[in-house]
Structure 1
Amino acid sequence: SGESFESHWKFFLADASICLLALDADSNDAEAAAKLERLCDRCAFEMKNIFLLSPQSIHRVLETHLDTGERSTTPAPPEHWNSLLDILVLTPDQQARLLFIYDLQCRVSNKIQEERRDLQSKLHEGLELLETDLEQLTRKMHISPECIVIKRLHKVVYRELGIQEIIREYLYGKTLSVLQFAKLVVYSYPYIPDPTAIVAALAERREAVKRKLTGIRRARAEMAHGQDE
């Protein structure tokens, strides 16, 4: 359950924090490093299990403030995740990996959103927008066409959840080191890390750099144009 996961998470935070302090004091502390690796493996295993067995629970805990235990419809501010990027110190290769999966996720999400809008439109406007053969089929089966649309919409929602799981797996399983994962969890407090928000923060940094470079090029072009005159 979500409550059980939160309880285990707090124990992990306490133990991981001790290991990180030990490694800060002595980066060659093999015992602390080994314990931290075991803790991170267990934490990642529990996260994967709860997402697969009860995806609604992981989304509920992502909205929970660990200090107060209260749920909020307002997610952690982007600045919170942006500051974590400075702590993680991602390598250029890690950044490239995450930005690749982010761009892929955006393309897939756009298609899903189009499909969702289409289904919602059909559901809202009524039976006349459904295909004729589908209408005939559902009449024979005595199933309301709206039920077919809702079933499709349900599948779309699970595809969205699947994309988020891919990002989570890619961030935790394919990109971060054990030390980075531990820092991510500890310094995300009082929130549980949101992989989608973290990767989005990295993408926003990329866009900020692009905007800055565009501004520099524009300023240089205007300066050159002024000198020509």
Structure 2
Amino acid sequence: MATSMEDVLRVNHSFFGDNQEMYLDLENMLNQTSDEALVGNLGPVPALPVEQRPLAALVPPQLPTNPTLPTPRTSNPGVVKKKGRDEAARSRRKQERKKQAMRELEESLQQKSDEFKRLEQENLSLRHRHNILDRIIAIRNHQLGIIKQQGGPAQPGANLQSLPSANSLSSVADSSSESNSGANSSAPLALPGEDDSPPQFPPETTLQSPAVALLGMLAQSYFDRVGVEFFREMTSSQFQTLYKRHLFRLSEHLQLLESSLQSHQQQPKQLQVYLNQPQLPGSQQSASPQVLSAQQGLLREACMIGRLYKLASIHHPNVTSKQMVMHLETGAEGTPPVEHWRMLLHTLALSPEQQVDLLTVGQMYKRMMAGVLAERTQLYAALAANGHAVDHKKLNVMMHIPVECHLMRDLLRNLRQEKSLGWMLQGFFFGNTCTVLQFSKAIAYAYPYIPDAVAIVMTLWSDMEARGTLPATLLTPSP
């Protein structure tokens, strides 16, 4: 059929109008006719298969009123604990590595700091040693200058017969009215402080200067004006007579000065001030005549005995070397005990700076003396090996110089080196370290012996080494 059911209904509706009942009856008739026609034409309609579902499947699922998250899958508890232990172990190892790195850094920093301190201390030691060497060289140049300047008699026309004796020289030192006997005798010689002019005192800036500088500012003593040959021909008895004469005078002035200052309730450390200026600190009226007289006399006698000892040591060292190991009262030879020098050190009251200077020179002395003694041991061994009988047949055939000649020459040079080192330390102690007061005390309190700087410095070294108080600058080995 070409037209559809909807078209027929639409036509019927338009034909019948709005009569609803007629429309319904006609519609029912058409439906029935259509069903019969279809059944008759096509035959019975086969039934379609219907899927059989349970009743519960047709009911829509009910959503839960309180939805919950799905429960995670749980693993083995043992595995979880093992993972925790591994992570803790890794964390500990990491912390240990950090701590180890920090310790290594601290150790490296400490090593650098110690190395810096060591180098700084070594630098200070080298600087101080360089300063000491400069002072030693200055002393040595001073000694050589005296030898060159006084290569001959200081007074023209003086000879061995016209040189004054020890007694006459002492008499001239006692009074300025006596003149020197000689071919060309000069005017009466005045001692420093005994002429009309006031004594030449050093300025206040040199109060702590060593004795050689302070005494050098005074007028020349009589011993600077006599001929060099006097000291070269001086005997031990002559030296001892002059030394003891000025020693007793120096002791008198020193005792008077100390007693005068104690009566004025002055501190001992202020003694150096009174030795270098003609008046007491403060007002002019506070100057005691006794103190002024004592300090002038002490300066004068210190100058005399210092020049005597220095010039005799330079021009005739054998005399002074012999006197240094002799008891000035009994004349017996022998070295004083160590306690004698220890008491003298206590009397001198050396400052810490003076102690460091003396110990530094003492270290140099010990190092150089070790080389001198080692060479001497080899020379003694060589002399013993070559001390055989003389081969007269060989002497009659050709010129022969024994090996002992060369060995004795080297041995003499070695002995002179030892003596030179001793005088170097002696000159540094008295001429570049001690003040005038300390120099005077060393001369006075060392009696009945002549003060030995080597023994004093070595005693100071041994005492401080025993107490463990050696300066840090000495712990660095000398180059």
The TM-score normalised by the length of structure 2 is 0.40
- Select the residue among 386, 390, 401 that pairs with 1:126: 386
- Which residue pairs with 2:448 in the alignment? 190
The answer on whether the counterparts of 2:361 and 2:425 sit within 8 Å (CA) in structure 1 is: yes
Q: Deviations over 1:153-189 (max 9, x none)?
A: 0000000000000011001100001111111111111
1:124 CA drift (Å): 1.0
Cα distance in 2, alignment partners of residues 194 and 56 from structure 1: 14
Cα distance in 2, alignment partners of residues 118 and 111 from structure 1: 11
Cα distance in 2, alignment partners of residues 76 and 95 from structure 1: 22
1:48 CA drift (Å): 1.8
Q: Deviations over 1:91-132 (max 9, x none)?
A: 0011011000000000000000111111111111128xxxxx
Determine whether 1:110 maps to 2:370. Answer: yes
1:10 CA drift (Å): 1.1
User: Which region of structure 1 is more displaced relative to structure 2, 17-26 or 184-193?
Assistant: 17-26
Runs of 5+ in structure 2 lacking a partner? Answer: 1-234, 262-279, 281-290, 388-397, 471-479
Determine whether 1:177 maps to 2:439. Answer: no
Mark the CA change 1:68 to 1:142 in structure 2 (over 3 Å): closer, same or farther: same
Determine whether 1:203 maps to 2:465. Answer: no
Secondary structure of the structure 2 residue equivalent to 1:143: coil
User: Which region of structure 1 is more displaced relative to structure 2, 40-49 or 199-208?
Assistant: 40-49
Cα distance in 2, alignment partners of residues 100 and 89 from structure 1: 18
Alignment of 1:42-57 (within 5 A): 42-57=304-319
1:141 CA drift (Å): 7.0
- Select the residue among 240, 244, 258 that pairs with 1:10: 244
User: Which region of structure 1 is more displaced relative to structure 2, 140-149 or 200-209?
Assistant: 140-149
Letter aligned with residue 464 of structure 2: R
Percent of residue pairs bearing the same amino acid type: 30
Secondary structure of the structure 2 residue equivalent to 1:26: helix
Determine whether 1:62 maps to 2:287. Answer: no
- Which residue pairs with 2:120 in the alignment? none
- Which residue pairs with 2:411 in the alignment? 153
Cα distance in 1, alignment partners of residues 295 and 354 from structure 2: 22
RMSD, aligned α-carbons? 2.1
Secondary structure of the structure 1 residue equivalent to 2:468: helix
1:200 CA drift (Å): 0.8
Cα distance in 1, alignment partners of residues 365 and 333 from structure 2: 27
User: Which region of structure 1 is more displaced relative to structure 2, 194-203 or 62-71?
Assistant: 62-71
Q: Which structure is larger by alpha-carbon Rg, 1 or 2?
A: 2
Cα distance in 2, alignment partners of residues 182 and 211 from structure 1: 28
The count of aligned residue pairs is 200
Letter aligned with residue 143 of structure 1: I
Letter aligned with residue 65 of structure 1: H
User: Which region of structure 1 is more displaced relative to structure 2, 54-63 or 143-152?
Assistant: 54-63
Secondary structure of the structure 2 residue equivalent to 1:90: coil
Runs of 5+ in structure 1 lacking a partner? Answer: 128-139, 213-229
Greater relative CO (CA pairs within 8 A, separation 6+): 1
Structure 1 or 2: more helix by fraction:
1
Cα distance in 2, alignment partners of residues 194 and 123 from structure 1: 32
- Which residue pairs with 1:37 in the alignment? 299
Q: Deviations over 1:57-105 (max 9, x none)?
A: 1121112111212223xx1000000011110000001101100000000
- Which residue pairs with 2:352 in the alignment? 92
Secondary structure of the structure 1 residue equivalent to 2:401: coil
1:201 CA drift (Å): 0.9
Letter aligned with residue 247 of structure 2: L
The TM-score normalised by the length of structure 1 is 0.81
Letter aligned with residue 125 of structure 1: A
